[in-house]
């Protein structure tokens, strides 16, 4: 009886042990399942966090790109504005240069006309110089700053050319004016008449044929005698046969002499202009009555004054 009881007790203990072992295994598996599930959840949480971080970094990058694009667009807009300002300034400068060239052309044309140089091709301010060379088709978007810069450089060259022309023209006119100033073409008296001509004539004192080196201009005593051209008074005083006399050196080899004056109004070394009063008509020296003896010399030789004097007094 006892043995049976022990046998049953042993069987019960074994069953309990087996049950306990089975329960432990089940609990282990449950713990393992829970651990695996926890790891999966943790991995998912990590993946979500990593993905969220990636999304955040991507959004930050996009925001940075957007900011860069906005700043670049603003910079491009400012550059366009500045370029437009520069183009407007260059266009205004181009217009001013074109206006200046127009004024230079007008001035040059007037001077050429006044100087009677119309036939001189080098002073043709009305025409543009020849142009040529390879060209590139325009984009059709209007002139660029480079285009305007090239045009401005070309206008500067044209202005330099016209300035040079004007300088040369000024020299030509100045030389012509000086030549005109020293050319004895102005009548020395504004009234009276030619009473004796240049060349051979009968001497009024002894009746012999003699050479008259000038012309005699009969006029009332005290009539103003004026310089036939601009120049420097070379001699003032009494000269044998001429009486009170004025000699003027004009330049380019020209000299004039004024004799028989009643009064002298200039001094030796004095500069006089064309038409300036230098003496008064008289009858001093070898003279038969009030008149002016007028001579013109070219390179020291007398010439007929009437060939120099203008048609009008």
Percentage, residues of the chain above pLDDT 90:
36
Q: List pLDDT tens digits, range 60-72.
A: 766 766 666 676 6
* Mean pLDDT within 269-294: 95
Evaluate if residue 297 carries a pLDDT over 90.
yes
Task: Tell me the two tokens of residue 81.
Answer: 């504005």
Evaluate if residue 25 carries a pLDDT over 80.
no
Task: Tell me the pLDDT of the chain averaged across its residues.
Answer: 76
What is the pLDDT at residue 274? 94
* Of 292 and 13, the one with more pLDDT: 292
What is the pLDDT at residue 291? 96
What is the pLDDT at residue 6? 45
| Kind plus residue range of the DSSP H or E element containing 126 | none
Evaluate if residue 148 carries a pLDDT over 80.
no
Percentage, residues of the chain above pLDDT 70:
60
For residues 236 and 276, the answer to whether their CB atoms sit within 8 Å is no
**What are the CA-CA distances from residue 313 to residues 186, 258, 275, 278, 310 (Å)?**
7, 17, 11, 17, 7
Evaluate if residue 132 carries a pLDDT over 50.
no
For residues 211 and 300, the answer to whether their CB atoms sit within 8 Å is no
**What are the CA-CA distances from residue 19 to residues 7, 13, 24 (Å)?**
18, 10, 8
Task: Tell me the two tokens of residue 161.
Answer: 């050319």
Q: List pLDDT tens digits, range 105-123.
A: 776 666 666 666 555 544 5
**What are the CA-CA distances from residue 193 to residues 3, 80, 217, 313 (Å)?**
194, 82, 5, 11
What is the pLDDT at residue 172? 72
Q: How would you classify residue 38: left for phi > 0, otherwise alpha for psi between -120 and 50, otherwise beta?
A: alpha
What is the pLDDT at residue 20? 53
What is the pLDDT at residue 128? 52
Q: Which of the 8 DSSP states describes residue 130? A: P
Cβ-in-10-Å burial (0-12, 13-18, 19+) of 260 comes to buried
Q: List pLDDT tens digits, range 163-206.
A: 777 777 777 766 777 777 889 999 999 988 999 999 998 887 77
**What are the CA-CA distances from residue 211 to residues 196, 255, 258, 261 (Å)?**
11, 19, 17, 21
What is the pLDDT at residue 232? 93
Task: Please name the residues in contact with 15: beta carbons below 8 A apart, sequence gap of 6 or more.
Answer: none
| Kind plus residue range of the DSSP H or E element containing 123 | none
* Of 54 and 240, the one with more pLDDT: 240
What is the pLDDT at residue 35? 63
- Of 224, 284, 233, 280, nearest in space to 256 by CA: 233
* Of 241 and 33, the one with more pLDDT: 241
pLDDT band (50, 70, 90) for residue 101: confident
pLDDT band (50, 70, 90) for residue 79: low
**What are the CA-CA distances from residue 89 to residues 154, 165, 172 (Å)?**
17, 29, 38
* Of 2 and 310, the one with more pLDDT: 310
Buried b (16+ CB within 10 A) or exposed e, 167-179: eebeebbeeeeee
* Of 125 and 234, the one with more pLDDT: 234
């Amino acid at each position: 009886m006892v043995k049976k009881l022990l046998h049953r007790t042993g069987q019960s203990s074994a069953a309990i042990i087996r049950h306990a072992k089975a329960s432990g295994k089940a609990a282990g598996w449950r713990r393992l399942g829970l651990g695996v599930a926890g790891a999966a959840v943790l991995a998912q949480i990590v993946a979500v966090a990593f993905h969220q971080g990636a999304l955040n970094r991507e959004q930050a990058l996009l925001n940075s790109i957007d900011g860069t694009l906005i700043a670049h667009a603003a910079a491009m807009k400012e550059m366009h504005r500045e370029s437009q300002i520069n183009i407007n300034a260059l266009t205004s400068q181009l217009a001013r240069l074109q206006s200046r060239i127009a004024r230079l052309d007008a001035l040059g044309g007037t001077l050429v006309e006044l100087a009677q140089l119309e036939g001189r091709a080098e002073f043709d301010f009305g025409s543009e110089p020849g142009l040529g060379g390879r060209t590139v088709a325009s984009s059709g978007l209007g002139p660029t700053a480079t285009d305007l810069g090239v045009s401005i450089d070309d206008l500067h060259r044209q202005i330099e050319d016209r300035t040079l022309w004007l300088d040369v023209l000024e020299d030509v006119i100045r030389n012509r004016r000086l030549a005109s100033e020293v050319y004895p073409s102005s009548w020395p008296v504004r009234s009276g008449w030619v009473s004796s001509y240049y060349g051979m004539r009968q001497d009024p004192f002894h009746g012999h044929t003699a050479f008259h080196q000038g012309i005699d201009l009969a006029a009332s005593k005290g009539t103003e005698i004026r310089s036939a051209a601009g120049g420097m008074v070379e001699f003032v005083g009494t000269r044998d046969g001429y009486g009170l006399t004025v000699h003027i050196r004009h330049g380019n080899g020209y000299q004039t002499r004024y004799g028989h004056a009643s009064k002298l109004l200039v001094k030796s070394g004095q500069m006089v202009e064309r038409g300036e009063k230098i003496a008064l008509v008289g009858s001093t020296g070898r003279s038969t009555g009030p008149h002016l003896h007028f001579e013109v010399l070219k390179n020291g030789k007398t010439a007929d004054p009437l060939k120099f004097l203008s048609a009008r007094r």
